[in-house]
Structure 1
Amino acid sequence: MRASRLITSVEVHAEGEPGRVITGGLPPIPGNSVFEKMQWMAAEGDHIRKLMLREPRGHPALCCNALVEPCDPRADAGFIIMEQTEYPPMSGSNTICVVTALLETGILPMIEPVTELVLEAPAGLIEVRADCTGGKVTRVGFRNVPAFAVHLDAWIEVPGLGAARVDIAWGGMFFVIAEAAQFGVELSAGNAGEIMRISEALRRAAREQLQVTHPENAAITGPTISQLTGPAQGAGASGRSVVTLATGGAGALDRSPCGTGTCARMACLHARGLLEVGQDYVNEGPLGTRFTGRIEDVTQVGGFDAIVPSLSGQGWIYGLSQHLLDPDDPFPEGFAIGDFGG
């Protein structure tokens, strides 16, 4: 057996969304912050993202995380988030996957019944509380970066759909958010094809007509991801969201309720006076799994009224992997075929 590269990973999913966690085999990654490390990966190490996310080692719905040394002395670990077409500054489901992998594999010590730690994401420091029992992380809660709405009830023209009313909001990524009812589509996994078609059209149109830049980091622009929302379908839930990840093709559904999407949605609800500080928002995803968000406080970000959200959910480890690259493999960066969301 020959290998020009060997990468080890922990395979984890958070409420259904897979978030592979790379634990070994990466080159030294320079940078004075995890955001700078992410920028280096995008410029110099993007072949790793492609290798790990594209077929045959990955698939269009897969996300990946690279564990890195933190730069902020207050952080216990750092991580770079990788998706099919971008490096998101923050991700809720990936944070849950990373915490689960760090604690259940012993990379960081687990303290029962509660482990508290700080992660450095590209978006900044993330304070984490993990409930732990019998060596298992049973719940991961974290205080996210501030979330805020940039546009509410804006109208865009979407090819094939006509005029659409949307919000643009930041929850760790910039989302274009639209009520699914205006397109006549039900938010269930069985409607994945139609949801992806609508969501990708929305994302492209919003990117052209309502492009936004983060007021505190001009390197972050958007919207790069889309979210359709609707009423809850299960008892005890507050609403349902289906997020479509950009894949460079038809897109792929986020299997979870999407953590950063939940925070962006809460920012819009708060801006409309529909969600108050201290109030929970239980968000369903396309599988019916749930993340629980809460507005912990309010603040300002670059002149925008913002919320300080928390989010919680659970992750499960389902495998340990060693990924090889044969020096003669004809697909050293994997491949994407449009028959499966790519």
Structure 2
Amino acid sequence: MDHRHRPVLPRPERPVPGGIPPVTASPSATAATQARPAVVRTTDYHTAGEPFRIVSEDLPAIPGDTVAERCATAIGPGGSGTAPRRGALDDVRRMLVQEPRGHAGMYGGFVVPADDDGAHFGVLFWHKDGYSTACGHGTMALGAWAVDSGRVAAPADGDAEVRIDVPSGRVTATVHRAEGHTTGITFRNVAARVAARKVPVATSVGIAEVDIAHAGACYASVAARDLGLAVTREDLPALTRAGLEIRTALASHPATWHPDGPLLSGVYGVILYEELPDTPLGAHQRNVTVFADGQIDRSPCGSGTSARLALLAEDGRLGPGEDLLHESVVGTVFTGRWKGEGVTEVTGTAYRTGEHAFSVDAHDALGAGFLL
């Protein structure tokens, strides 16, 4: 598949945030009438360096029959993934992700009921700007948390399967155990598919040829060297700027739309990657993923790795059972495996970093939080 287009130019006006059109939810399906909990308890993990803050209790009511419906409720009528409507639930997100309790790179999730008895629980993923439909690193952290907390039984030696409903569908975190310790987590994503190839996009540093793939969320991939950049900490400002320009330019591109509707449509993240020497097991790449309104994934990006696997498979660089060694800008690693027919698995590690009980003093002018 090789869809070619005329260059996509940056739009003069800011598009719908995240490229995701407003979702619909009944006005009665908002939690705006409830007060934010006095204390919010979290358990924090990091997966390959990317934080994940888990909230599993004392949440405002989140109406909906499925996780996807609850995600629409959280976003609110007329809101979008990176511009949710205010309400009690979103006040909790803002408090946890913004300073002084969080930071611009914070990520997390609200644990909610599963769609049916086939999953252990559901989750609504969130970041500094709003909500996302997929999160591979978060799924790995949730798998470790489910086993650590006893929510899902696990052997001292062997594997435990944690089934989780997310807004994009059902995913699985297989938690690998040895001598009573978790040694890794393998995330099996929803089906990944390629939507478009070599879409020209004009950026401030030149024309980028962008590949678009869906893997629970929509990702745009571009070779960093084609923009004169390298995936290094030194180039992060330029990488971030290019990622935002590409995301903005593709806001209305038809390849970013998902057949299941607006919640899954629009570019979520832009993956800027560079090639490294192949390993005996397959391809080797380093990437930085720019998502939301300029957030940088410290990990190699779990669902983004799924998108890269689909593209590499279509290029003939990965066959069933072959691996992608995928590095992040901070040097952490995921191993992605193409299973065929859109099925991908991504393996990494996740570790607990702390437990917290957050509160807001009624006299604190900065209690709701802020971002620089």
Tell me the TM-score normalised to structure 2 length: 0.82
The one-letter code sitting in structure 2 at the alignment partner of 1:157 is A
Structure 1 distance, partners of 2:340, 2:37, is 49
C-alpha contact (below 8 Å) 1:233/1:240 kept by paired residues: no
Q: Which runs of 4+ in 1 moved over 3 A?
A: 208-211, 233-237
Structure 1 residue 235: deviation in Å? Answer: 6.9
Structure 1 distance, partners of 2:254, 2:290, is 18
| Alpha-carbon distance change, 208 to 116 in structure 1, aligned in 2, over 3 angstroms | closer
What SS does the corresponding residue of 2:331 show, helix, strand or coil?
coil
| Alpha-carbon distance change, 108 to 233 in structure 1, aligned in 2, over 3 angstroms | same
Paired residues for 1:10-89 under 5 Å = 10-43=43-76, 44=87, 45-89=89-133
Q: Specify the alignment match of 1:327 in structure 2.
A: 362
Higher mean Cα deviation, 174-183 or 201-210? 201-210
C-alpha contact (below 8 Å) 1:112/1:131 kept by paired residues: no
| Alpha-carbon distance change, 213 to 332 in structure 1, aligned in 2, over 3 angstroms | farther
Higher mean Cα deviation, 312-321 or 162-171? 162-171
Structure 1 residue 209: deviation in Å? Answer: 4.6
Paired residues for 1:178-257 under 5 Å = 178-209=222-253, 212-232=256-276, 238-247=284-293, 251-257=294-300
Q: Specify the alignment match of 1:262 in structure 2.
A: 305
Structure 1 residue 211: deviation in Å? Answer: 6.0
2:165 paired with 1:120: yes
Q: Specify the alignment match of 2:175 in structure 1.
A: 130
**Superposition CA RMSD, Å:** 2.0
The one-letter code sitting in structure 1 at the alignment partner of 2:173 is V
2:7 paired with 1:7: no
Structure 1 distance, partners of 2:115, 2:257, is 25
Q: Specify the alignment match of 1:142 in structure 2.
A: 187
The one-letter code sitting in structure 1 at the alignment partner of 2:44 is E
Structure 2 distance, partners of 1:245, 1:5, is 31
CA deviations 1:55-106 (Å, max 9, x no partner) are 1111111101111121221001111110122321111101011111121122
C-alpha contact (below 8 Å) 1:234/1:288 kept by paired residues: no
C-alpha contact (below 8 Å) 2:212/2:218 kept by paired residues: yes
Higher mean Cα deviation, 177-186 or 324-333? 324-333
2:326 paired with 1:283: yes
Structure 2: 5+ residue runs without aligned partners?
A: 1-35, 77-86
How many aligned residue pairs are there?
Answer: 323
Matching residue within 313, 325, 329 for 2:348: 313
C-alpha contact (below 8 Å) 2:42/2:55 kept by paired residues: yes
Higher mean Cα deviation, 272-281 or 171-180? 272-281
C-alpha contact (below 8 Å) 2:223/2:274 kept by paired residues: yes
| Alpha-carbon distance change, 73 to 4 in structure 1, aligned in 2, over 3 angstroms | closer
Structure 1 residue 332: deviation in Å? Answer: 4.5
Identity %: 27
What SS does the corresponding residue of 1:224 show, helix, strand or coil?
strand
The one-letter code sitting in structure 2 at the alignment partner of 1:34 is V
Q: Which has the higher strand share?
A: 1
The one-letter code sitting in structure 2 at the alignment partner of 1:174 is C
| Alpha-carbon distance change, 143 to 223 in structure 1, aligned in 2, over 3 angstroms | same
Structure 1 residue 134: deviation in Å? Answer: 4.2
Structure 2 distance, partners of 1:164, 1:284, is 22
Q: Specify the alignment match of 1:304 in structure 2.
A: none
Structure 1 residue 308: deviation in Å? Answer: 1.0
Structure 2 distance, partners of 1:144, 1:51, is 29
